[in-house]
Structure formats: structure tokens, C-alpha cells
Amino acid sequence: MTLTQSLKFLTLFSFFVLNISLGFSQTLEGTVLDSIGKPLNAKILFIASNQNDIVSEYCLALNGKFSYKLKKNYNNGLILRVTAAGYSDFETIITSTNKEETLVYNITLINEKIELLDEVIVKSKTKPFLIKKDTTVFRVDAYKDGTERKVEDLLKNIPGIEVNETTGAIKYRGKLIETVTLEGDNLFEYNYTIGTKNINIDLVDEIEAIENYSENKLLKGIENSDKVALNLKLKKNITDVTGSMDIGLGDKPDAKDTPINTSVNLLAINSSLKSFAVGSYNTIGNNLSPFNYYGNEVSIEHIREDILYAQRVIPELSLPRVTNNNLSNINHQFFGNFNGLFDLNKKLKARVNLFYLNDRIDSNQFSKSDIEIVDERFTIFDTAIFTKSPIQYRGDLELKLNSSKSSLLEYNISFRDEIIKTDRTISSNQANNFSSFLDSENVFVNQNLEFTKRISPEKALQFNLNYVTNDLGQNFNIEPSIFNNPEFDEDVQNTDSKKHNLTFKTLLLGKHKNSNYSLIFGGTHNTENFSSALLSQNNFQTVANGSNLNNLEYTFNDIFTQGSYTWRLGKFIISPEYTFRILNQSLQLLQDNTSLKSSDFIFEPSLRLIYKIDQSSDINFTSRIYQGTNSIQNFYTNGILLDNRILRNNIPDLRLNKSQNYSLTYQKNDLFNQLELSLGTNYVKQRGAFFTNTEIDELSTTITDFFLPERNENLNFFFDATKLLPWIDTTIKVTSNYSIANFKNILNNSELRDIKSNFFINSIFFKTAFNSPINFQNKTTHSYQENRSENLFINQSIENEFKLVFKPNKELVVSLNYNYIVPNLDTYSNNFSFLESTISYKPKDKNWQMSINGVNLLNEKVFEQINTTDNSTNIQRVDLLNRYILLNFSYSF
């Protein structure tokens, strides 16, 4: 299918589904009153005349009013029945079939006589979910297929919930969730993946999705919260202390290391304590921690705190994710964690989170690039053997003091010490083979003090003070010297970055009838010192290499005010916001005795409009204008050695990057009819950014970043639809995303080149729920990328994931997973097949379970990706975990 055909298909399919959702038949509305005119709450039932009294559709009349758009056409006639407790039913026949006509009914119900009736027992199947205002309750047993072990496994089965396979981050109805609470208490803060990855699903009875979430109870009903949280409701028979133990040992015929997967977790709950602890060790690529040391994706917490961190200049080892078991992560990970929530007295609570992680990640990688620049052609390659050893110590403390019913004082402190050591041996097309060692240490302390006062039922005042220090040092040694100087044995690149950030703000929150407002005044003082030195040395002397020394100080101070107001006018929600900032920046280049300064008065407006079509669907429009500062990574002027090839520097500039963002989205989440639909578009225009001039030859690459007030654009269209097809007991999900990006780059001092990139990704997923021992699911994903500058180049790949589940009885579950991946369809590329199997046995009414897992049974040794650009063809290859068989024993107590 060509790109044009794919776009036509997407447009037609989107139009078809949208018409299904929006193009139903006629609308009915009206009132329901009693004999004296009092508004009633009642059920409005719609029954097809030829369906023997079976309810086809229904809605509710709240406070005497109802409005409903029929979802089907009823050519044989329709019966409207109105029922309310204590009143006689009202019934009428609807004969009009005019879709454009709105039918209005003003209904009066008569009090019924009280009569003694015989006892009636009604038995019905328990509904899988329950909606209570802002909370949707999902019953765990209704979404199990028998293969789930942990909470995260089950979350993937719940409609509206998406789980990121790499980070464990969870979205509900497209929104990133704030936290996962345990029986209503925020035990894990942003690192909620500790709970979802480690808590046994057998302990959980219900999972609640809470919209408009406010952790601070004093702000409930005042704060205009757009946050979402999940709450785990435990089973009623959970004792004070419960837990589980997993012991997994296996055989890996083609490797020296024995496959090991062991873990212990404890859950303790009583009147004054709620705690969860986990300890684990594995060599099979599992990551039970919230920290990611093998890939590029960062945790939810890191995303929220990104502005507070000092920037890591020399990059760490990164691995691609291969299958859900992440076969590229050849690890030896020990992770320990304790989370405790203590009620010290009636007014004082404390939360403690302790972490320890020690890992060793081994990787063999090969990279090759065939490069063509003008009339010059050459090939570069590196074969590298890595050993990356991260260690992290961390402790968090939170104290909450309710000095009165209307006031709350909170203090949080987080201390983190992270050490990463990376050894690398490199064989390349350069004159020498290299051996390098990177030692990074990062000490981060974040303190936050917050006081909340509920002034009245409609107003609250909040004061916040936040102070962060971050000390990040990196030492990179490589031998022999890359500068081919026979006098020196090695090069040493040292970098040191110290960052201090102080922020204070005062927040006034209030509500008036159906409206909410907020007003913030505050300020930020940020100081960052950065120094680096590139040295060449031998046993007798150490000298600076050229002028590659940096010593700079960057500060920015801003005073800001922010305001927002949210009106709720019928079905419309209108929410304008603004930010005024006075920003002062200063950059001192101490090594050159030069400085840059800037002062800006910034106005950033935004607007959000929501139209509630009905209880399950809405249209959302947002617009935002934003101006941002640049990172200290763009401010150092002299070169920093990043690896055996790359030297990077900048031409610093304090000008702001300015962006505009507009989005339009239609969403429908109809749990009753098992339909989820989301489609829309997003447009981002940015003016002013740092561009890269890359000078590359066979032996080295020099990168220079510089600022240009040029424009970049990105236009994105997306479509997601999930529907249960009850006549075949199958859920189907279709996802499409198409983006168009216009940007610029420079290669070997060329002119600024315009590049247009089109990216199109489609996936289709289905999962059966047959009333039979066998069920299966399948997901096919196709991605297509087209980039055009002087030349046209295309990358496209396809991946298919198939899973078969066989349950001959309640005790035995057999699952088979097969992944087929073609990394590049347009150039010569290997195809990869991955087969996994699990056999689980859990006796009825027993607290133990046995399983046998077979992973990478086809024993794929490496995974390879091929990518083409306008000037090169690039191959990246990484070694994988060898085939292994794991025998696992689980015991719960």
C-alpha cells in the first residue's frame, strides 16, 4: 500500500467510525415530574417493538431532565418506558423515524400504591466495572485470562489503560496517571511502577481509575484537577502481613551464566502502618525497579523533574528494546526497596521510601555506516564490548502535619546518589583499537516545603518553597590517545556540573458556582556552574589538549505570575490561562573572560475548550504559546570528547526558542458498549533553535551546535479505536499515527538544508474471549518513514506479535508467544523470530504455583536494525540473551 493509499484509507476509516459515533438516529429529550411538579430521577428505557421486552438502550433522567441520542435505527417501532422507585411506569410508542427531528416528552409519573409482595430473588452476572461519579471501578476477576502474575499484567487487559513496556508508565484515556495508591494512600509517589510490577494480582480485588484526582484533601472540590490516579483495592481477607516468594532457576545451554529470577515481597497493613517491601535478583533481563539503565526512556519522575537536573554531557550506554522480555538487556540486577506510611499520631503522618540498586549490564554491539557526501564515499565501523555497572542509593522522606482541620504542612526531602561505571573495548576502522572507561557520579537532593490553608469552603491558599542541588561529575579515559600523538598514552576528559535551583510560589485557588480559578505569584533563581578539561597524559606528564577547556557560570532569574479560570457553561468548558514572566539570563565564559546577558518580558497565553457531547464523549481544543530557555549543553564553547570518534562544541546564544501548539481531539469512552475512540490532530510550530553542523570523515566527527531563528514545524494526525465485537467474543483495536515534520540541518559546512519527514505507523490488535479452553491474540505493527532533502530515502518495518492461551482446566494454563520482526523492508535485512512459552500449574485452594518458562527458544543470537538517511546507510547490531529454560516456584503467605 502506498503512502497516498494509506492516507486515503485512514481518512475513510476515520470518517466511517466517526459517523458511527456521531451519526446515530434521532434525539429524544424532555422532563420527568411527579403529580405536584417535583423533578424526579428516573430510568428511560428504549425497547424495540419486536424484541420481546428486551431493553436495547437506556439513559437516566437526573433532576427531572434527560436528553439522549439513539444509537440505532428502529424501523419496526420503539417503546419508551420510564420507571422510578415508588411510581407507576409510564410507557409510550415512538413511531417517528425522522432522524433530523428532536422528540420532546414531558412525562408525569403517578405514585403507586404500597402492596405486600412475595419475596423475589434476582440473580445476575456481576458487571466487570462500575462508574461512580469521577471514579470507574474495574473488578479484577472480570479481566483475567489466567496468565497474569502482577498488577501490571492485568492493567494491560483493562479498556482505556495503556502500559509502556519499557518504563511501566501508565495512561488512562490518553492521560499519564499521577500515581498508583494502595487503599487510597499514596505509598509510592511518582515511582508507582514498584507497586504495579511487584504486587501480586491475587491480592487485589478492584482497580479504581480516579479522574480529577487531588492528593491534597484540602483542595478537593476547589482545585481544577486534570490528574488521573489508580487505586488498588485489596481483597477483604488480606491479613496484617502477607507476601510472596518467587524462586526461578534455569538452564542456558549456550552460555556460562545460570538463568536466575528470584524475588520476595511483603505487604503489611494495620491501623498505624501501611508498607510494601521488595527484594529481587535476576539475570534474565527483568527490571523490577522504576529506573532504566539500559535504554533512552526515562522514568515518569525524571520527566517531571527534568528542569531540576544537571545535564549529562557524555552519553551512557543505550540498548534497543527487543521483545517484551527485552532480550538485549543482559543483566545481573539486584534491587531492594522499602515503602512505609506511618501514622505517628492523629495529626502527623510520615512516608519513607528507600531504594538500592546494583546492576551489571553486558553488551556486544556493532555499528557500521556507509557514507556518501558529495563525491566522497567512505565506511566507518565500530565493534564494542560494553560492561555498564550502575549503583544507586536513595532515600525519600515525607512528613504531613494537619495542625487543624483546615491546614496542612508538608515537607519532602529526596536524597539520591548514583554511580555508573562503564568499560568499553573498541575495534574500529581507525588507526588503533581503543579501551575506554567512563565514571559518572550524580548526587541529587530535592527539598520541598508546602503549606495549605483552606480559607473557606470555596477558597484555599498555598505556599510552596523548593530547593534543589545537583552535583554531576563525569571522567572519561581512553587509550591510546585519539590524537595520534606518540608522546601520550591516553586522553582524559573531565566534566563537572553543579546546579542549584530555588523556587517559591504563592497559590490562591477558588471556586464560584460551576467555575474554578487559580492565581499564582512566584520566582525562580537558578545557578549552574560547568567546567571541563580535555587532557593528554603519560606516566610522566599531563597537558591540556589544545584549547579544550571550559569554565562557565549560567544563571537565570524570573519573576512570574500565572492565572487560570474555568467556566462550565452547559455542555461547554472554557479554560483560558496566562503566564507573565520577567526573565533575566547571564552566561559567564570564564575561560575567555567574556559574558552574555539577556532580559525578556514574556507573555504566554493558552486556551482550552471542551464540548461534552454526552456522558461518554467530548471534543477538546487546546492552544498554547510558550518560550523556553536552552540547556547548558548548548553553552560550552570548546570541544568535549564524547567517545573514540566524536568531539562536540557550541556557539552559545541566550535567545529563546518560541513555540506554538494547537490540538483538536474527539474522544469517546463508552464502557457500556465497550467502545473507545480517539482521533484528532496536533500542530507545533517552533521558531529559534540550536542546529547542528556535523563534519565527518573516516576517523572522526566534529559536531558544532549553533542558534538560528529558523522555523521548524510538525503536523500530526492520530486515530485509535477499540471495540468489543460480542457476536464473536473478540476485542479489536486499530491505531494509526501520521506525522509530517519540516526541519533543517547542515552537513560538512554545507548550506542550511531543508528536510521534510513523513512518518506513518499503523497497528491492528485483536484478542478473543471465547468460552472455550483456547484463546489467542495478535498485534501487527507497520511503520513507514520517508525523508526528503536532496534525495529521497525510505525506512519501513513490520512486526507481528502472536499469543496463544490454552486453559484445559482452572489449574493449568499454557501460553505461547511468537514475535516476527522485519526491521527494514526496503533494504536487505535479516528477519527475526522469537518464540516463548510458559506452562503454569496452580492447584485449587493452594497458595503455591509452579511454572516452566522457555525464552528465545529459536535462539536468535543478535538483533540488527538498518536505517538509511540522505547521506548514509547505517547498521546497528546488538547481542541478545541466549535461549534458556526457567523453572519457577511461587509461594504466597
What's the whole-number average pLDDT of the chain?
86
Where is the domain boundary, 204, 238, 272?
238
CA distances from residue 184 to 154, 173, 188, 274, 411 in whole angstroms, order as listed: 19, 21, 12, 11, 20
Environment class of 191 (CB within 10 Å of its CB; exposed 0-12, middle 13-18, buried 19+):
buried
pLDDT given at position 655: 93
Distance CA 625, CA 678 (A): 24
Q: Is the pLDDT of residue 22 over 60?
A: no
CA-CA distance, 352 to 186, in Å (whole number)? 11
Predicted local distance difference test score (pLDDT) of residue 437: 95
Task: Examine the domain organization and report whether 40 and 94 are in the same domain.
Answer: yes
Dump pLDDT digits (tens) for 677-699.
999 999 999 988 888 888 888 88
pLDDT recorded at residue 425: 94
Res 527: pLDDT: 95
Domain end among 78, 108, 138: 108
- Dihedral of alpha carbons 26, 29, 32, 36, sign: negative
CA distance 316 to 404: 49
Q: Are residues 164 and 97 in the same domain?
A: no
Confidence at 546, pLDDT banded by 50, 70, 90: low
Length of the chain measured in residues: 893
In a domain, residue 566? The reply is: no
Give me 253's grid cell: 545451554
Closest CA to 355 of 262, 278, 303, 299: 278
| Higher pLDDT pick, 237 / 408 | 408
Listed as own residue / partner, the contacts of 788-795 with beta carbons closer than 8 Å and 24 or more positions apart are 788/755, 788/756, 788/757, 789/753, 789/754, 789/755, 789/756, 789/870, 790/753, 790/870, 791/870, 793/868, 793/869, 793/870, 794/826, 794/868, 795/824, 795/826, 795/866, 795/867, 795/868
Q: Tell me: pLDDT of 2 over 70.
A: no
d(C-alpha 410, C-alpha 216), whole Å: 10
Look at strands 594-614 and 617-628 and give their pairing: antiparallel
Q: How many angstroms separate the CA atoms of 30 and 32, rounded? A: 7
pTM more than 0.85: no
pLDDT for residue 6: 46
* Burial of residue 641, with CB atoms counted within 10 A of its CB: 0-12 exposed, 13-18 middle, 19 or more buried: buried
Domain match, 33 and 100 both: yes
The residue with greater pLDDT, 425 or 845, is 425
Q: Is residue 159 part of a domain?
A: yes
CA–CA separation, 78 vs 100, rounded Å? 17
In a domain, 104, yes or no: yes
Residue 192 sits in the same domain as residue 145:
yes
What is the grid cell recorded at 232?
488498588
Task: Average the pLDDT over 171-184 and give the result.
Answer: 86
Instruction: State yes or no: pLDDT of 542 exceeds 90.
Output: no
pLDDT in tens, 815-851: 999 999 998 887 656 889 999 999 999 898 888 899 9
Q: Is the dihedral of CA 55, 60, 64, 65 positive or negative?
A: negative
DSSP 531-567: EEEEEEE-SS-EEEEEEEEEEEEEEEEEEEEEEEEEE
- What is the pLDDT confidence band of residue 127, given thresholds at 50, 70 and 90? confident
Q: Which three cell numbers stand for residue 446?
A: 530535592
Q: What is the CATH number of the domain that holds 208?
A: 2.170.130.10
CB–CB of 29/67 below 8 Å? yes
Mean pLDDT, to the nearest integer, of 592-607? 94
Give the CATH number, domain containing residue 95.
2.60.40.2190
Residue 75 pLDDT > 80, yes or no?
A: no
Q: How confident is the model at residue 255 (pLDDT cuts 50, 70, 90)?
A: low
Calculate the alpha carbon distances from 634 to 291, 658, 672 in Å: 27, 17, 52
Question: Is residue 825 in a domain?
Answer: no
Rounded average pLDDT over 4-9 = 44
30/404 Cα distance (integer angstroms) = 47
For cell 469517546, name the residue. Answer: 668
What three-state secondary structure class fits 201? helix
| Upstream peptide bond of 253 is cis (omega within 30 degrees of 0) | no
Domain with 136, as residue range(s), is 129-238
pLDDT at 472 over 90: yes
Task: Spell out a b/e string for 255-276, using b for 16 or more CB atoms within 10 Å of the CB, else e.
Answer: eeeebebebbbbbebeeeebbb
Residue 520 in any domain: the answer is no
Q: Which three cell numbers stand for residue 457?
A: 469552603
Task: Indicate whether 78 pLDDT > 50.
Answer: yes
pLDDT of residue 120 exceeding 60, the answer is no
133 and 100 within one domain: no
- Report whether pLDDT(7) > 50: no
**DSSP three-state, residue 15:** helix
> Which string of b and e fits 294-310 if b means at least 16 CB within 10 Å?
bbeebbbbbeebeebbb
Asked whether residue 96 falls in the same domain as residue 136, the answer is: no
Q: Summarize pLDDT for 841-889 with one digit per residue, the tens.
A: 989 888 889 999 999 999 999 999 888 877 788 889 999 999 999 999 9
Report whether 312 contacts 296 (CB < 8 A).
Answer: no
Mean pLDDT of 544-558: 86
The answer to whether 677 touches 17, Cβ cutoff 8 Å, is: yes
Per residue in 653-678, pLDDT (tens digit) is: 999 999 999 999 999 988 878 888 99
Residue 796 has pLDDT above 50, yes or no: yes
User: Is residue 298 pLDDT above 80, yes or no?
Assistant: no
In angstroms, the CA 464 to CA 410 distance is 9
- Closest by CA to 152, choosing from 261, 19, 287, 273, is 287
pLDDT of residue 51: 67
Q: How far apart are CA 671 and CA 669, in angstroms?
A: 6
Number of domains observed in the structure of the chain? 2
Closest CA to 353 of 464, 195, 202: 195
517-540: average pLDDT: 90
The pLDDT of 357-379, averaged and rounded, is 87
Last residue of a domain, one of 73, 108, 143: 108
Residue 151 falls inside a structural domain? yes
- Smallest CA-to-CA distance from 687 within 714, 664, 715 is with 714
What is the DSSP code string of 333-363? EEEEEEEEEEE-SSSEEEEEEEEEEE--EEE
Q: Is residue 102 part of a domain?
A: yes
**Angle in degrees, CA 217, 222, 224, rounded to 5:** 105
Q: Which pLDDT band, with edges at 50, 70 and 90, does 4 fall under?
A: very low
The answer to whether position 133 is within a domain reads yes
CA 191 distance to own-chain centroid: 12
Pairing of strands 792-806, 812-822: antiparallel
Distance separating alpha carbons of residues 792 and 75, to the nearest angstrom: 55
- Lowest mean pLDDT of 101-105, 136-140, 254-258, 593-597, name the range: 254-258
Q: What is the DSSP letter of 312?
A: P
**Sorting pLDDT into bands at 50, 70 and 90, what band is 37?**
confident
Q: What are phi and psi of 412, to 5 degrees?
A: -125, 140
Give yes or no for a contact between 856 and 884, defined as CB atoms under 8 angstroms apart.
yes
- The pLDDT-based confidence of 754 (bands split at 50, 70, 90) is confident
**Average pLDDT of span 730-754:** 83
The grid coordinates of residue 248 equal 526461578
pLDDT above 70 for 330: yes
pLDDT tens, position by position, 629-647: 998 889 999 999 998 889 9
